[in-house]
Structure 1
Amino acid sequence: MGERKLLSPEIVQVTVDKVNIIQAKLKAVQDRQKSYGDVRRKDLKFEELSRVHDVFHISMLRKYISDPSHVLETPEIELRDDLSYEEQPVQILGREEKRLRNKIIALVKVLRRNQIVEEATWEREDQMRSQYPYLFQN
């Protein structure tokens, strides 16, 4: 074992003073960093949305009671062997030209059978004319 030295009160006081100086310097540095951060900090502002969502509570649901007269009609869909089907276009809802750097592409908004208007898609007009000419007879 090594020699043990007893610490005198003066050495303890010097150590306490140095610890206090270090704490003061750390506090000064932290305050300086906080002031830099406060200058760059932006308060976040949130807008309240004015939309109201339809909400219902689960307790409002009732058990379904079977009714033989309640029959849903489903349209006949011809399925292929791979269980896919072709959605036939039924109407052109609109026209638009997409301008690219070197060319202009004509587009048509196509409504397909068993779709609602919101599900209509934009397709190239030249492709639609070649595949479905009956849509452009008007």
Structure 2
Amino acid sequence: MEFAYNSSFHSSIGMSPSEALYGKSCRTSLCWSEVGERVLVGPEIVEETTQNVQVIRSNLKAAQDRQKSLGDRHTTDRVYKVSDWVFLKLSPWRGVVQFGKKGKLSPRYIRPYMITERVGEMAYRLELPTELVKVHNVFHVSMLHHYVADPSHVIPPQPLEINPNLTYDEEPVTILDWKENVLRKKTMSLVKVLWSNHSVEEAT
């Protein structure tokens, strides 16, 4: 494995690690030396090593520029103002430990928070509720997503009558859809009913 790694070509430095370190391709120990091979001693080794270092630096610079150009395609400069509302992105670890959000269907962003202060060039301080007093309130701009207020996002509460036994009555509101299920000897009609105190997604 060590021989395979040292003899493999690396695109970032433009050569193999063995060639970068020793100035020649890696060979097995059985045929390391060849008849008539030129041996470098003294200043020649220093000069060749210096040239290899310059080549490696230029190759690394080109690789870094290439990676940066690819990364900049998917990034945009985001600047927020004080009193703007933003969503907060949760990482899996932070969501479970600090915010109590866990599971496959846990939200990627949680409720909008107001920006109270800009900290440096890439961080903002948020106004967090009292139940998150243990969470540090300064977040990087990559964890924020701008929130645009929309009155349709606010769902008005509906009164719900609770029975003495802590249950409530369900009443059908309307039929959303219907179909016929054909069996061997008979046909059954199926309807999709919207119930009171439930949304359309919860129709049965």
TM-score of the aligned structures, taking structure 1 as reference length: 0.36
* Structure whose alpha-carbon radius of gyration is higher: 1
Larger relative helix fraction: 1
Larger relative strand fraction: 2
